[in-house]
Amino acid sequence: MSERNDAAYLVLEDGSVYPGTRFGSHSDAEGEVVFTTSMNGYVESLSDPSYKGQILAITHPLVGNYGVPEKIRRNGILTNFESEDIQVSGLIVGEITNGSEWNSEKSLERWLDDENVPGISGIDTRALALHIREKGTMAGIISSSKEFNKVRDYESINFVDMVSIKQPLIYENKGPRIAVIDYGLKEGILECIYSMGYSIVRLPHDATEEQVLSYDPMGIVLTNGPGNPLLLSRETETVAKLMEHNIPVLGICLGHQLIAMASGMEIRKMDFGHRAINKGVMELHTGKCMITTHNHGYAVFGDVPDGVEISHVSLDDRTIEGMTIKRHNVITAQFHPEARPGTKDGFRIFELFDSAVKGFISGKR
C-alpha cells in the first residue's frame, strides 16, 4: 500500500471522471490516455520512449509486485530498461504494490517519485480500457480536481525530437557496422543487433543521408519512436533517399511507418492502438502465427504500391504488421521483434535482416 494517500482523479476529455488515490509524485499529469494488457514488464514499458507524452493504464490488477531493479549495462547497452528515464507522463493502475524481488533496488512507487511522475491507483482499469475501446483514445489528466483543463494536442507535438539522442554514439564490436537511426529507440533493439556481432553507430533522428552514409554502414535500422509520424516529413525524405542505395534496411514500429510513407502509403491514427505483449501476427508466406509485442497508435492503411509486399498481418484486425520491398532490400515490422518484454517469436525479423546484410556484404566483394 502507498505510504502517502491523497485523493486524486483521472479526468478524460469526454468528461468521464475516475476517482482514485495518488502514488509516486504528487504533481499533476496530462497526456494521451492509452492502455496495455501486458501482465508484466512494467519497468520496460514505463521506460519505453514510444510512450512519451502518454498516460499509461495497465489493465493487470496488481502492478509493482517485483519492484524496480538496478540498471544493468553490457557493452554500453541497457539490458533491463529501455531508456535511462521513465517516459510516460503518468501511470494508472488498479492496485499498486510494494513487492520486491532479489534484484529489486526500489519500489515502483519510489521510482515514480524519484522521477517526478505521478500515478493514480484504485482505478477500474479494465472498465477504463473498455471505455477507450468504445470511444477511442483521448486526452486526460491526473489531478486533485475533477475539472478537465485543456491540454496540449498530442498529435501536433514532435516527441521524437525530445527523445532522440543529439550526437552519434558508437558501440564497437567485431563485425561490420550497422547504422541505427534513433527516433526514440528501445535499447533492446541495440542489444539484439549487437548480439549478432555487429558494430553499431547510433544516429539522431535528423541525421541526413550524407551523414548516415559517411559511416559506410552495411545495414540501416530505423527504430521505434513516439508521436505522430505525419510530423516527420524531413525524416521520411531521408528514408526515401537511403532506400535508393539498396543497403539492407530494417524498419521497426515507427521505422516501418516511415518506410511506408516514403513508399507512398497512407498512415492513419488507430481508434485505440495495439499495446500488449501477446498479440498474434501471421507471417503470410508461411501461414505461421507469431506471438508478438506491440506499442503503436498509428498504422499503415490504403492501397499497396507495386513492389511492396505485405509480409505480416495482425490476427486481431488485419492491420499491416510487416512489409518487404525487395528492389530496395527493405524489411519492416510494425511489432517489436526485440520483445522486451514478450516472447522471442519476432526475433526471426532480425535473422532475416542479418541474412540480408550478409548477402549485401558478399555482393560487394
Average pLDDT over residues 127-141: 96
Please answer whether residues 74 and 39 qualify as being in contact, where contact means their C-beta atoms are separated by less than 8 angstroms: no
Q: What are phi and psi of 237, to 5 degrees?
A: -65, -40
Please answer whether residues 22 and 44 qualify as being in contact, where contact means their C-beta atoms are separated by less than 8 angstroms: no
The alpha-carbon radius of gyration of the chain (Å, integer) is 20
Tell me what pLDDT residue 100 has.
75
Tell me what pLDDT residue 3 has.
47
The DSSP secondary-structure symbol of 336 reads: B
Q: What are phi and psi of 16, to 5 degrees?
A: -65, 140
Cell numbers at 335, concatenated: 511489432
The band of 2, judged by pLDDT with boundaries at 50, 70 and 90, is very low
Name the nearest CA neighbour of 194 among 74, 286, 112, 107: 74
- In this structure, the number of other CB atoms found within 10 A of the CB of residue 145 comes to 12
Residue 10: strand pairing partners: 18, 142
Please say if 294 is a catalytic residue. Answer: no
Name the nearest CA neighbour of 341 among 272, 291, 296: 291
The band of 5, judged by pLDDT with boundaries at 50, 70 and 90, is low
Angle at 215 between CA 323 and CA 85, to 5 degrees: 70
Element spanning 42, H or E = helix 42-46
Tens digits of residue pLDDT in 67-90: 999 999 999 999 999 999 999 999
Catalytic pick from 253, 283, 296, 321? 253
Please say if 289 is a catalytic residue. Answer: no
In whole angstroms, give the CA distance from residue 338 to residue 56: 21
Per CATH, is 160-364 categorized as 3.40.50.880? Answer: yes
Name the nearest CA neighbour of 272 among 299, 252, 290, 251: 299
Tell me what pLDDT residue 1 has.
41
The domain 7-156 is placed in CATH, from the list 3.30.2130.10, 3.50.30.20, 3.40.50.10330, 3.20.20.60, at: 3.50.30.20
3-state secondary structure of 28: coil
341 preceded by a cis bond (ω within 30 of 0): yes
Please say if 192 is a catalytic residue. Answer: no
Tens digits of residue pLDDT in 257-301: 999 999 999 999 999 999 999 999 999 999 999 999 999 999 999
Please answer whether residues 290 and 345 qualify as being in contact, where contact means their C-beta atoms are separated by less than 8 angstroms: yes
Percentages (nearest 5) of helix, strand, coil residues in the chain: 25, 35, 40
Name the nearest CA neighbour of 188 among 122, 277, 274: 277
Which stretch of 100-109, 241-250, 352-361 has the lowest confidence by average pLDDT?
100-109
Q: What are the residue ranges spanned by the domains of the chain?
A: 7-156, 160-364
The DSSP secondary-structure symbol of 303 reads: P
In whole angstroms, give the CA distance from residue 8 to residue 21: 5
Average pLDDT over residues 136-157: 93
Rounded to whole angstroms, what are the CA distances from 183 to 109, 146, 165?
28, 35, 8
